[in-house]
Amino acid sequence: MNFTLLLFLAVVLTGLIWLVDLLALRRRRAAGQHESLVVDYARSFFPVLLIVFLIRAFLFEPFKIPSGSMIPTLRVGDFVLVNKYSLGLRLPLIHTQLTQGGPVRAGDVMVFRYPKDPREDYIKRVIGLPGDTIEVKGNDLYINGKLIPQKYVGPFTYHTHEGYAIPTQEYQQELGGHPFHIIEFDTPEAQMDFGPYKVPPHCYFMMGDDRDNSNDSRFWGCVPEQNIVGKAMFVWFSWDANDWSIRWNQIGRSLD
């Protein structure tokens, strides 16, 4: 059971108790009967739970980064705020679209339900739009036959969960007006070829910024439009579990 479902059930339960109190129990109290503690709590928590549910369901939702697949942009322990309304409003839980929003753009960082297990949320960068042809040759990315340039930034030290430091290389790319950084392992073992693959209609090709350590569309295919949760906006908190410290330099980082 995910948090949205639990929150929805809490709203329904407290709302029903509040409604029963409004229609029946309040008259008994007027006749001298004491108010139940359960009714008091339900009446107090119902409006708060309802507001939180509506905000999470239709406007914004926090998301914790669970893996290093988006390094160097996002680190494990980053908390990002996801914009859910810019791409169109959807009914919570059943995900039926209510309104038409703006288009998904190449380069956007998106949270989506993993196609092979929709109970899991993933976060990756949009690389290919519907109709695009994607091909990867070693560390080179081609979209519609055009090589996407990458500018060398410098060495980057990759820190694993186990505390190992692995040297990699950092590059800058740009898609859809989004400049962003990626890391790559400059070893033949880490490089892979993929495609060419044409993205089907109403589907998006996703890749992690940690190009050689990302479980993404190269392995399980594209993300259907209905699986999109929302666009990641910025990092609102960052916690480094390895040394129990706050990453102040990550907080406030824009992903737009």
Angle at 234 between CA 90 and CA 97, to 5 degrees: 10
- List 111's β-bridge partners, or say none: 123, 230
Spatial distance between the Cα atoms of 196 and 126, rounded to a whole number of angstroms? 17
**Rg for the chain, CA atoms, rounded:** 23
CB atoms within 10 A of CB 120: 12
Question: How do beta strands 78-83 and 60-64 pair?
Answer: antiparallel
Q: Is 133 helix (H, G, I), strand (E, B) or coil?
A: strand
* Catalytic option among 36, 84, 124, 254: 124
Residue 77: C-alpha distances to residues 8, 35, 117, 161 (Å): 26, 44, 22, 11
137 among known catalytic residues: no
Environment class of 202 (CB within 10 Å of its CB; exposed 0-12, middle 13-18, buried 19+): exposed
C-alpha distances in angstroms, 145 versus 9, 43, 132, 155, 166? Answer: 50, 61, 9, 28, 32
Catalytic annotation present for 214: no
CA angle 6/78/67 to nearest 5° reads 85
Instruction: Name the catalytic one among 64, 67, 69, 86.
Output: 69
Count of all residues that appear for the chain in the document: 256
What is the separation of C-alpha 39 from the centre of its chain, rounded to a whole number of angstroms? 37
Q: Which residues are catalytic?
A: 69, 124
